[in-house]
């Protein structure tokens, strides 16, 4: 019979140092040693939760994704100044031997200030310990979605200040009968006379012509402008035979969050945040669909002030009995229209105008 000699010293340290999310645990005694500055898994947890937060936030960034990203380095204040030059006209014809008169450059300064936003949820020690579901991850996911929605509404609210306006033509079922020139006239045509004042291919062509002339043909991406529309508007457009669904071209080019299709030189992005107006006294809801060329507006990318997850353990904030921890998020944000001539806001109605409610409210 052969004897097997085991050196039990091989297993002497097994279980005395177990890496956990809370610190270093001794499996035999249960003692917990906090993470030190050299060895820590907290950074892994932070990376995971930040990724979860941002993934859920991005799903809500329909307007914010379209802005020019303007970086703001740390320690450079909280007010950003943009400088842009006015577009020059055509150059002069030269006369032989004659020096032409020079052109004056005109610069415009635009400023905007950052605002800080955030929220948190408190999670009890019992819920964190005994819940079947991962409560912290669920809280991060919900906070990410809420933060993304807030950021997008802040961006949208800035775009409501667009000054280049087009009102949709009134259609009586067989022909176009009028072109309203105000919101009141649009409502009268759409409601009182039962006309359709929809975002039709004809109206889209008029909008693209307007923006093409005002910004000298500058597009947003390649040969296309972009336009953010409400889901109610989508139904009216999809009936047009020239509508191309996004899935038919998504394989060959990158698409935007919420992009659903294109037609007549415009790529359409669908969002519940697209403005719906129904103020006191309005007989029906009107919609604002916003068409953009390149760099029409900017959003500020703040170094050190981007969206982040903040998790406090029950030992940090749970009071004398360590009864709860918190999960939170915060971010700084600002958006500003840079070129009014590079955007057109189209006012129109939809087949849902009489039953839709207003969605223009404060961002938070």
User: Which one, of 198, 269, 267, lies nearest residue 237 by Cα?
Assistant: 198
CA angle 60, 62, 66 (to 5 degrees): 140
Do 331 and 257 contact (CB within 8 A), yes or no?
Answer: no
In a domain, 234, yes or no: yes
- Inside any domain, residue 99: no
**pLDDT digit string (tens) for the chain, length 364 residues:** 555 555 544 445 556 666 665 666 776 777 777 655 444 445 556 667 777 777 777 777 889 899 888 766 565 556 666 666 666 667 778 888 888 777 776 666 677 778 889 998 888 888 777 665 588 888 888 889 999 999 999 999 999 999 999 999 998 888 888 899 999 999 999 887 778 899 999 999 999 999 999 988 788 888 899 999 999 999 888 888 888 888 887 776 778 889 999 989 999 999 999 999 998 888 889 999 999 999 899 888 766 667 888 888 888 888 888 888 888 998 888 888 988 999 999 999 998 998 899 987 654 4
The answer to whether position 293 is within a domain reads yes
| Residue 244: strand, helix, or coil | strand
Contacts of 81 (CB under 8 A, 6+ apart): 109, 110, 111
Instruction: Provide the domain count of the chain.
Output: 1
Burial label for 49, CB within 10 Å (0-12, 13-18, 19+), is: buried
Q: Is 30 left (phi over 0), alpha (psi -120 to 50) or beta?
A: left
Task: Give yes or no for a contact between 192 and 323, defined as CB atoms under 8 angstroms apart.
Answer: no
Q: Distance (Å, rounded) from C-alpha 146 to C-alpha 158?
A: 19
- Which DSSP state fits 190? I
Identify whether 90 is part of a domain. Answer: no
**Placement of tokens 């997008």 in the chain:** 152
Query: Which tokens in the block code for residue 143?
Result: 């906070």
- The C-alpha angle 259, 261, 267, rounded to 5 degrees, equals 75
For the chain, the C-alpha Rg in angstroms (whole number) is 28
Q: Residue 88: inside a domain, yes or no? A: no
Strand segments, DSSP code E, in 138-242 are 165-167, 170-171, 176-178, 225-229
Please indicate, yes or no, if residue 252 is contained in any of the structural domains: yes
Report the C-alpha gap between 267 and 256 in whole angstroms.
9
Q: Does residue 104 sit within a domain?
A: no
Q: Containing domain of residue 335, as a range?
A: 63-83+109-364
Instruction: Please check whether residue 97 is in contact with residue 326, taking contact to mean a CB–CB distance below 8 angstroms.
Output: no
pTM, full prediction: 0.76
Structural domain includes residue 123: yes
């Amino acid at each position: 019979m052969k004897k097997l000699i085991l050196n039990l010293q091989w297993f002497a340290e097994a279980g005395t140092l177990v890496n956990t999310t809370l610190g270093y645990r001794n499996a035999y005694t249960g003692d917990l040693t906090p993470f030190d500055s050299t060895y820590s898994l907290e950074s892994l947890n932070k990376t995971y939760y930040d990724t979860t937060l941002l993934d859920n936030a991005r799903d809500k960034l329909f307007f914010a994704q379209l802005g020019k990203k303007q970086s703001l380095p740390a320690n450079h204040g909280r007010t950003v100044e943009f400088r842009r030059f006015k577009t020059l006209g055509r150059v002069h014809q030269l006369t032989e031997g004659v020096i032409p008169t020079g052109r004056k450059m005109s610069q415009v300064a635009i400023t905007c200030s950052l605002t800080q936003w955030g929220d948190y949820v408190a999670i009890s020690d019992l819920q964190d310990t005994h819940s079947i579901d991962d409560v912290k991850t669920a809280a991060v996911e919900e906070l990410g979605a809420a933060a993304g929605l807030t950021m997008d509404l802040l961006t949208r609210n800035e775009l409501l200040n667009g000054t280049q306006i087009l009102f949709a033509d009134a259609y009586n079922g067989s022909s176009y009968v009028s072109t309203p020139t105000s919101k009141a006239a649009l409502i009268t045509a759409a409601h009182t006379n039962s006309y359709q004042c929809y975002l039709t291919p004809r109206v889209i062509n008029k909008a693209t012509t307007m923006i093409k002339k005002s910004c000298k043909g500058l597009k947003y991406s390649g040969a296309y402008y972009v336009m953010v529309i409400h889901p109610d508007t989508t139904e009216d457009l999809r009936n047009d035979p020239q509508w191309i669904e996004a899935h038919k071209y998504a394989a060959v080019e990158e698409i935007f969050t919420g992009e659903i299709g294109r037609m007549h030189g415009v790529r359409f992005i669908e969002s519940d945040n697209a403005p719906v107006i129904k103020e006191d006294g309005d007989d029906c809801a009107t919609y604002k669909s916003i068409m953009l060329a390149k760099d029409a507006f900017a959003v500020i990318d703040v170094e050190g002030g981007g969206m982040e997850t903040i998790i406090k353990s029950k030992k940090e904030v749970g009071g004398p009995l360590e009864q709860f921890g918190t999960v939170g998020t915060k971010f700084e944000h600002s958006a500003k229209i840079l070129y009014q001539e590079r955007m057109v806001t189209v006012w129109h109605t939809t087949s849902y105008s009489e039953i839709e409610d207003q969605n223009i409210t404060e961002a938070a």
